[in-house]
Protein backbone atom coordinates (compact mmCIF):
# COMPACT_ATOMS: atom_id res chain seq x y z
CA UNK A 1 0.00 0.00 0.00
CA UNK A 2 1.20 3.47 -0.75
CA UNK A 3 0.51 6.48 1.38
CA UNK A 4 -1.02 9.67 0.08
CA UNK A 5 1.58 12.38 -0.38
CA UNK A 6 0.20 15.11 1.84
CA UNK A 7 1.13 16.66 5.14
CA UNK A 8 -0.58 13.90 7.13
CA UNK A 9 1.26 10.62 6.59
CA UNK A 10 -1.44 8.78 8.60
CA UNK A 11 -4.02 8.99 5.82
CA UNK A 12 -4.35 6.35 3.15
CA UNK A 13 -5.73 6.87 -0.32
CA UNK A 14 -9.32 5.69 -0.89
CA UNK A 15 -8.02 2.65 -2.78
CA UNK A 16 -5.53 1.75 -0.04
CA UNK A 17 -8.06 1.99 2.80
CA UNK A 18 -10.54 -0.13 0.83
CA UNK A 19 -7.84 -2.75 0.25
CA UNK A 20 -6.93 -2.74 3.95
CA UNK A 21 -10.60 -3.02 4.97
CA UNK A 22 -10.88 -6.20 2.88
CA UNK A 23 -7.97 -7.85 4.69
CA UNK A 24 -7.58 -6.45 8.22
CA UNK A 25 -9.65 -5.40 11.21
CA UNK A 26 -9.41 -1.61 11.51
CA UNK A 27 -9.08 0.07 14.93
CA UNK A 28 -11.69 2.71 15.80
CA UNK A 29 -12.80 4.73 18.80
CA UNK A 30 -16.43 5.40 19.73
CA UNK A 31 -17.20 8.21 22.16
CA UNK A 32 -20.42 9.00 24.00
CA UNK A 33 -20.22 12.72 24.85
CA UNK A 34 -21.91 13.59 28.14
CA UNK A 35 -22.57 16.56 30.38
CA UNK A 36 -22.08 16.00 34.11
CA UNK A 37 -23.11 17.94 37.18
CA UNK A 38 -20.86 18.96 40.10
CA UNK A 39 -21.12 15.48 41.64
CA UNK A 40 -20.10 13.75 38.40
CA UNK A 41 -23.61 12.49 37.58
CA UNK A 42 -24.46 12.36 33.88
CA UNK A 43 -27.19 14.90 33.15
CA UNK A 44 -27.19 14.80 29.33
CA UNK A 45 -26.00 12.61 26.47
CA UNK A 46 -25.00 14.13 23.11
CA UNK A 47 -26.02 12.36 19.93
CA UNK A 48 -25.09 13.48 16.45
CA UNK A 49 -27.37 13.53 13.44
CA UNK A 50 -25.58 12.37 10.26
CA UNK A 51 -26.41 11.58 6.67
CA UNK A 52 -25.38 7.97 6.16
CA UNK A 53 -23.77 6.46 3.09
CA UNK A 54 -27.20 5.00 2.26
CA UNK A 55 -28.69 8.51 2.20
CA UNK A 56 -30.67 8.07 5.44
CA UNK A 57 -30.41 10.54 8.32
CA UNK A 58 -29.47 8.69 11.52
CA UNK A 59 -28.31 9.47 15.04
CA UNK A 60 -24.72 8.51 15.78
CA UNK A 61 -22.01 8.51 18.41
CA UNK A 62 -18.71 10.26 17.83
CA UNK A 63 -16.66 7.67 16.00
CA UNK A 64 -13.62 7.30 13.81
CA UNK A 65 -10.42 5.50 12.91
CA UNK A 66 -7.22 5.52 14.90
CA UNK A 67 -4.47 6.53 12.50
CA UNK A 68 -1.11 4.85 12.11
CA UNK A 69 1.26 6.02 14.86
CA UNK A 70 -1.55 7.86 16.70
CA UNK A 71 -2.25 7.35 20.39
CA UNK A 72 -5.80 6.33 21.29
CA UNK A 73 -6.18 9.43 23.46
CA UNK A 74 -5.15 11.62 20.53
CA UNK A 75 -7.63 9.86 18.24
CA UNK A 76 -10.42 10.46 20.77
CA UNK A 77 -9.57 14.15 21.03
CA UNK A 78 -9.31 14.49 17.24
CA UNK A 79 -12.70 12.91 16.58
CA UNK A 80 -14.41 14.81 19.40
CA UNK A 81 -13.09 18.09 18.01
CA UNK A 82 -13.92 17.06 14.44
CA UNK A 83 -17.55 16.28 15.34
CA UNK A 84 -18.29 18.61 18.28
CA UNK A 85 -16.10 21.59 17.42
CA UNK A 86 -12.90 23.05 18.85
CA UNK A 87 -14.67 24.58 21.86
CA UNK A 88 -16.22 21.34 23.17
CA UNK A 89 -13.49 20.98 25.83
CA UNK A 90 -13.60 17.18 26.27
CA UNK A 91 -12.16 15.76 29.50
CA UNK A 92 -10.27 12.73 28.24
CA UNK A 93 -8.09 11.18 30.95
CA UNK A 94 -4.35 10.89 30.41
CA UNK A 95 -4.68 7.09 30.23
CA UNK A 96 -8.24 6.45 28.99
CA UNK A 97 -9.86 3.09 29.67
CA UNK A 98 -12.71 1.94 27.41
CA UNK A 99 -15.98 0.87 28.99
CA UNK A 100 -16.24 -1.85 26.34
CA UNK A 101 -14.82 -3.08 23.06
CA UNK A 102 -17.24 -3.35 20.16
CA UNK A 103 -16.54 -5.61 17.20
CA UNK A 104 -18.24 -4.41 14.02
CA UNK A 105 -18.52 -7.05 11.27
CA UNK A 106 -19.48 -6.64 7.62
CA UNK A 107 -21.78 -9.65 7.99
CA UNK A 108 -24.93 -8.77 9.96
CA UNK A 109 -25.66 -10.89 13.04
CA UNK A 110 -22.13 -11.95 13.99
CA UNK A 111 -22.25 -9.40 16.84
CA UNK A 112 -24.82 -6.69 17.62
CA UNK A 113 -22.53 -4.25 15.76
CA UNK A 114 -22.49 -4.01 11.97
CA UNK A 115 -20.36 -2.04 9.50
CA UNK A 116 -21.02 -3.06 5.89
CA UNK A 117 -17.60 -1.67 4.84
CA UNK A 118 -15.30 -3.65 7.10
CA UNK A 119 -14.39 -5.63 10.18
CA UNK A 120 -13.67 -2.95 12.79
CA UNK A 121 -12.70 -3.16 16.43
CA UNK A 122 -13.76 -0.11 18.41
CA UNK A 123 -12.69 0.99 21.86
CA UNK A 124 -15.71 2.75 23.39
CA UNK A 125 -15.52 5.63 25.88
CA UNK A 126 -17.81 7.94 27.81
CA UNK A 127 -16.31 11.43 27.60
CA UNK A 128 -17.52 14.44 29.60
CA UNK A 129 -17.49 17.68 27.63
CA UNK A 130 -17.65 21.09 29.30
CA UNK A 131 -17.54 23.62 26.47
CA UNK A 132 -19.75 24.83 23.67
CA UNK A 133 -20.48 22.13 21.15
CA UNK A 134 -21.41 22.79 17.54
CA UNK A 135 -21.63 20.03 14.93
CA UNK A 136 -18.78 20.08 12.45
CA UNK A 137 -17.91 18.51 9.10
CA UNK A 138 -20.41 15.74 8.23
CA UNK A 139 -22.39 16.06 11.48
CA UNK A 140 -25.67 17.85 10.73
CA UNK A 141 -26.78 18.43 14.31
CA UNK A 142 -25.93 17.65 17.93
CA UNK A 143 -28.83 17.03 20.30
CA UNK A 144 -28.51 16.69 24.07
CA UNK A 145 -30.85 14.13 25.64
CA UNK A 146 -31.41 13.38 29.31
CA UNK A 147 -30.36 9.82 30.15
CA UNK A 148 -34.05 8.81 30.27
CA UNK A 149 -34.73 10.42 26.89
CA UNK A 150 -31.67 8.68 25.41
CA UNK A 151 -33.13 5.30 26.50
CA UNK A 152 -36.42 6.00 24.71
CA UNK A 153 -37.06 3.29 22.08
CA UNK A 154 -37.71 5.98 19.45
CA UNK A 155 -34.31 7.60 20.03
CA UNK A 156 -32.55 4.22 20.18
CA UNK A 157 -34.16 3.25 16.85
CA UNK A 158 -32.52 6.28 15.23
CA UNK A 159 -29.04 4.90 15.96
CA UNK A 160 -27.57 2.66 13.26
CA UNK A 161 -25.31 -0.40 13.20
CA UNK A 162 -25.76 -1.44 16.84
CA UNK A 163 -24.81 1.90 18.36
CA UNK A 164 -28.05 1.85 20.37
CA UNK A 165 -26.63 -1.10 22.29
CA UNK A 166 -23.36 0.76 22.79
CA UNK A 167 -25.27 3.77 24.14
CA UNK A 168 -27.17 1.59 26.63
CA UNK A 169 -23.89 0.00 27.76
CA UNK A 170 -22.39 3.47 28.25
CA UNK A 171 -25.34 4.61 30.37
CA UNK A 172 -25.13 1.46 32.48
CA UNK A 173 -21.38 1.94 32.86
CA UNK A 174 -21.84 5.43 34.36
CA UNK A 175 -24.69 4.27 36.60
CA UNK A 176 -27.65 6.04 34.99
Q: Which tens digits make up the pLDDT trace of 112-142?
A: 999 988 899 999 999 999 999 998 878 889 9
Share of residues in the chain with pLDDT > 90 (%): 70
The answer to whether 64 and 28 are in contact (CB under 8 A) is yes
Q: Binning pLDDT at 50, 70 and 90, where does residue 20 land?
A: confident
State the pTM of this model: 0.86
Q: Binning pLDDT at 50, 70 and 90, where does residue 7 land?
A: very low
Q: Strands (DSSP E) along the chain, which ranges? A: 26-36, 42-51, 57-60, 62-65, 100-105, 113-114, 120-128, 139-145
Specify the pLDDT at position 1. Answer: 37
3-state DSSP: the chain helix, strand, coil percent, rounded to 5?
A: 25, 35, 45
The answer to whether 98 and 28 are in contact (CB under 8 A) is no
Contact partners, residue 38, CB within 8 Å, separation at least 6: none
Neighbours of 25 (CB within 10 A): 14
The arithmetic mean of pLDDT across residues 70-91, rounded, is: 95
Specify the pLDDT at position 5. Answer: 38
Rounded to an integer, what distance in angstroms lies between the CA atom of residue 93 and that of residue 115? 28
Residue 80 pLDDT exceeds 50: yes
Share of residues in the chain with pLDDT > 70 (%): 94
Lowest mean pLDDT among 36-40, 54-58, 61-65: 54-58
Rounded to an integer, what distance in angstroms lies between the CA atom of residue 8 and that of residue 145? 35
Residue 3 pLDDT exceeds 70: no
Amino acid sequence: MTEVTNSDAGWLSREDIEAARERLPILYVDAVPVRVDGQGTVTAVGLLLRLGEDGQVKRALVSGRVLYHERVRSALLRHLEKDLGPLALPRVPLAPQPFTIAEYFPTPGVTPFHDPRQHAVSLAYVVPVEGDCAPQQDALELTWFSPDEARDPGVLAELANGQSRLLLQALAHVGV
